[in-house]
Structure 1
Amino acid sequence: MKENKMGSMEIKKLVTTMSIPIIISMLVQALYNIVDSIFIARVSESALTAVSLCYPIQMILVAVACGTGVGINALLSRNLGLKKQKEANQVAVHGLFLAIVNGLVFALIGFLFSKQFIQLFTNDAEILAMGISYMQICMIFSFGIFVQITYERIMQATGNPGYNMVVQGVGALVNIILDPIFIFGYFGFPAMGVTGAAIATVIGQIIAMLLGIFITKHKVKLVQIHVREFKMDLTLINSIYKIAIPAILMQSIMSFMTVFMNMILVSFSTLAVSVFSIYFKLQQFVFMAVSGITNAIIPIISFNYGARHKNRILETIHFSLILAVGIMFVGTIVFQLFPEQLLYLFNASEDMLMIGIPALRIISISFIFAGMSLILCSVFQALDHGKNSLIVTLLRQMIILVPLTYVLAHQFGLNISWISFPITEGICCILSLYYLHKVKKETINNLDNEEALLNG
């Protein structure tokens, strides 16, 4: 069998070649999210508000999909590093099973509870109707995104991130093409507004899912997925979720943070909620680039953890931190210099600019700190220290950030409240570096360094 490049390729080249396709695919996904909001903003402010209120639930859905994918990715990579082919195959098959189960659970939740969720924020009949329609469609057909992400993580774990770029790129392109057709009613289709945006979203996800299945079956040779060989192994599922649950909670916390932030901001105006949603869509271009690196290094570190290559793990960590700081520095400069131009993409009114410009400038001060924390949290996950990741993320997204924002907003006003982001990220970056020191001492330095033995 062909040797897995994650155990042999030079680290800088490996991290770069693994990261770039994932970054490109994530940036394409971020572009879709922004284009989607740009089109919806041109329907009405109410339409943008409706979709903004649904966004936290979409984030939870993606958190479960991606978090489960982290568990699949890490465990699959580790078994490949240990040369346990049969076990690796079973991880992949169980991942597909979990994707289908999760899709069914979210479909049921979306069908039964969409109205109750939107009513937490508004009783406006127009916003309520649009929000319910958008949320139900996205959740009932969520099997597409669950299965798609599972196959993407299998591709990453086997050292084939380029296929991720193809899968996500095609799905996002389909979304972008269908959005104006379904939203505004072109080529004989009725103008469906927010409902049309939701339909375009799920069609893109299902097409990406089908492409992922096809590519994995015909191009990925390190893992074989045979559904007939599936036999439920609760111990294996437990092992996947031992890694996945901290990752799910880490990403879900952001969703809950958004809900609580919306509750704080709506007391000022619904426009403040829209500004915060726009910020999230814009910052995805910066954060998704770093997330591409985190997605790449989890299988690299997991593989070399299984193979007990200490030096390769340390080099991966250090190089990834340098890349993340560089990306976040560029993002900070863009947000500092061009906040008005970024907001104009969303038909920003003068009132929106008054809220949005200081928000973008102040929050972006936190980017470099956040980038370092994101990288280190992924390192902790890959090395079975998911608890550290969970603690840092809880502090970043909830325990410090939300109460601090509430206090600053009510004591000093909306514009000052955004300072809570750089304060929170600075504290959590320091904590992440402390945890890295502990993980090096407790785990990494205790590995048998096979490279040193070979050279010595």
Structure 2
Amino acid sequence: MLSGDIKTTLRRMTVPMIFGMVMLMTFSIVDTFFVSMLGTEQLAAISFTFPVTFTVISLNIGLGIGTSAIIAKYIGGGDTANAKSIATGALMLAALLVGVLSTIGFFSIEATFSLMGASDELMPYISAYMAPWYLAGVFLAIPMVGNAVLRAFGDTKTPSIIMAAGGGINALLDPILIFGWGPIPAMGIQGAAIATAIAWAVSVFWIIHLLAVKRQLIETRLLSFAEFIVAARGVLKIGLPAAGANMLTPIAGGVMTAVVATYGAEAVAAWGVGNRLESIASIIVLALSMSLPPFISQNYGANQFSRIKQAFDMCAKFVVAWQLFVFIVLALCAPWIAAVFAEEASVARDIRLFLLIVPLGYGLQGIIILANSSFNAMHLPMSALILSILRLFVCYVPIAWLGSYLYGLEGLFWGCVVANLFTACISYFWFKQNIKKEIEQSPVLPIVESD
């Protein structure tokens, strides 16, 4: 990562991540597909859960970002001893924080979703899904942060295998637990959450064994309180702003869901399907946002700023071209996709409308995502947080709401595209200016090789 061909290195790191994330995304897309077979109310219920579940996921993402940035910088500077201690403390911290957040969430399910506009008819389905999901929250934290440790060391293949296995287990268990099979009773929407929890639990045992025994990248003991504080402070310095930035997304998503809810349960169902399809449609961008930061952090530790600039430019140009191609494919396939996920004509109509408009902005959104993750990788988490605030609450929510007010649901969808255009311009030029300043101020240091 410090001296090899940039394009080849990023491709080698990103391709395994694409495969792993495709399988990881099956958690939500497979859940959505099978739950849609239960009916519109169940589909609307699981659509309401997305902003809340992503809040917990965002905390894990933030902690993973902080973990990866700190560890990769140590590796770039040749200090692997501190990297091992940070990795151990990060896993402990993730379990603690996610456990607290999930406990709070478990006891506030009805209050939370009532504020989001969920009707009394949907609340039993939402509670049935969220109760086991919250109870399994810690099972999600350990693999996500553990995978960040592996990526910081330059291994993106193993995390991809772990994610793929988890997605495969979830996909296998979903129909069995949702609809029942043999002695296993049909659990309905709750079965989808239980299937996900089981998949996460398997990943926990796998990642701990791998890090502690096979790779020896973490301590085989709990850190002392003093050691934990030192490790946690380093991770939280980047991880908290990163987690906060990621949590803004589901908060904004909750606001948007409430706006969409004014158009009825059918529109909410279509919005939920569209958001889950967005994760698949943006899979390469998301993979790059996980493989690019370790590359940037290691080169940041080695003071190789020109390599950071080249890598960011290369990725930004690629995602714009790629996501334009994805938009064309989604637009052409919109009628078929709508038929797969919706039985009611009104839901299918809104899904088609979403796919013909919103994906046009995915390439622009990709630039925002890459700039955000790159700021974190360069230990500038507050810049990433400010960028997220600008994107979501200065551009995305206000412009989409204005579009909805003026032109209805179609106007809301176009508002999402316009908001991404404004924020992408800000993101690109802001990060480029930051890199230019670093190159001008910092001398090139010799690369320090590590074990």
For 1:181, the equivalent position in structure 2 comes to 176
Q: 1:316-327 counterparts in 2 under 5 A?
A: 316-327=311-322
Counterpart of 2:409 (choices 395, 400, 414) is 414
How far apart are the structure 2 equivalents of 1:112 and 1:421? 33
Question: Equivalent residue for 1:3?
Answer: none
What residue in structure 2 maps to residue 397 of structure 1? Answer: 392
TM-score, length-scaled by structure 2? 0.94
Question: What residue number does 2:23 align with?
Answer: 28
- Partners of 2:352 and 2:177 in 1: CA distance: 32
Output the CA distance in 2 between the equivalents of 1:298 and 1:416. Answer: 35
Change (3 A) 1:224 1:119: closer
Q: In structure 1, what is the Cα distance between the partners aligned to 2:135 and 2:93?
A: 16
SS at 1:208 equivalent: helix
Match of 1:140 among 114, 135, 141: 135
User: What CA deviation, in whole Å up to 9, does each residue of 1:219-241 have, x standing for no partner?
Assistant: 435x3433245444434423212
Change (3 A) 1:277 1:228: closer
In the alignment, is residue 152 of structure 1 matched against residue 139 of structure 2? no
Tell me whether 1:14 sits opposite 2:9 in the alignment.
yes
Matches within 5 A, 1:241-260: 241-260=236-255
Structure 1 residue corresponding to 2:433, chosen from 433, 438, 441: 438
Residue 182 of structure 2 corresponds to residue 226 of structure 1: no
- Pairing partner for 1:113 from 83, 108, 113: 108
The verdict on how the C-alpha distance between 1:160 and 1:202 changes in structure 2, with shifts beyond 3 A counting, is same
Say whether residues 1:170 and 2:165 are aligned partners. yes
From 74, 78, 83, give the equivalent of 1:83. 78
Greater alpha carbon shift after TM alignment, 229-238 vs 208-217: 229-238
Equivalent residue letter for 1:375 = L
Alignment of 1:8-407 (within 5 A): 8-121=3-116, 124-220=119-215, 223-233=217-227, 234-407=229-402
Q: Which amino acid aligns with 1:307?
A: A
CA distance in structure 2 between the aligned counterparts of 1:211 and 1:343, rounded to whole angstroms: 37
Unpaired segments ≥5 residues, structure 2: none
Shift in Å, 1:273: 1.1
**What is the DSSP-based 3-state SS (H/G/I as helix, E as strand, rest coil) of the residue aligned with 1:400?**
helix
Contact 2:399 2:415 in 1 (8 A): yes
TM-score w.r.t. the length of structure 1 is 0.93
Q: Alignment partner of 2:185: what SS?
A: coil
Residue 125 of structure 1 and its aligned partner are, at CA, apart by 4.3
2-side partners of 1:155 and 1:349: how far apart? 45
Residues 69 and 378 in structure 2, CA contact (< 8 A), matched pair in contact too: no
Q: Does 1:424 align with 2:409?
A: no
Unaligned runs of 5+ in 1: 1-5
Letter matched to residue 271 of structure 2: F
- Give the CA RMSD over aligned residues: 1.8
CA displacement at 1:333 relative to structure 2 = 1.2
Tell me the CA shift for residue 9 of structure 1: 2.8
Identity of aligned residues (%): 22
Deviation at 1:324, TM superposition (A): 1.8
Deviations 1:361-388 (A, max 9, x none): 1111211211112112211111122222
Q: Which digits, 9 at most, give the CA deviation of each residue in 1:251-295, with x for residues without a partner?
A: 211101111111111111111111111111111112232111111
- Whether the 8 Å CA contact 1:122–1:128 is kept in 2: the answer is no
Q: In the aligned structure 1, how far is the partner of 2:223 from the partner of 2:51?
A: 37
User: Would you say how many aligned residue pairs link Structure 1 and Structure 2?
Assistant: 446
Are the equivalent residues in 2 in contact too, given 1:19–1:293 (CA < 8 A)?
A: yes
Whichever residue aligns with residue 82 of structure 1, its letter is G
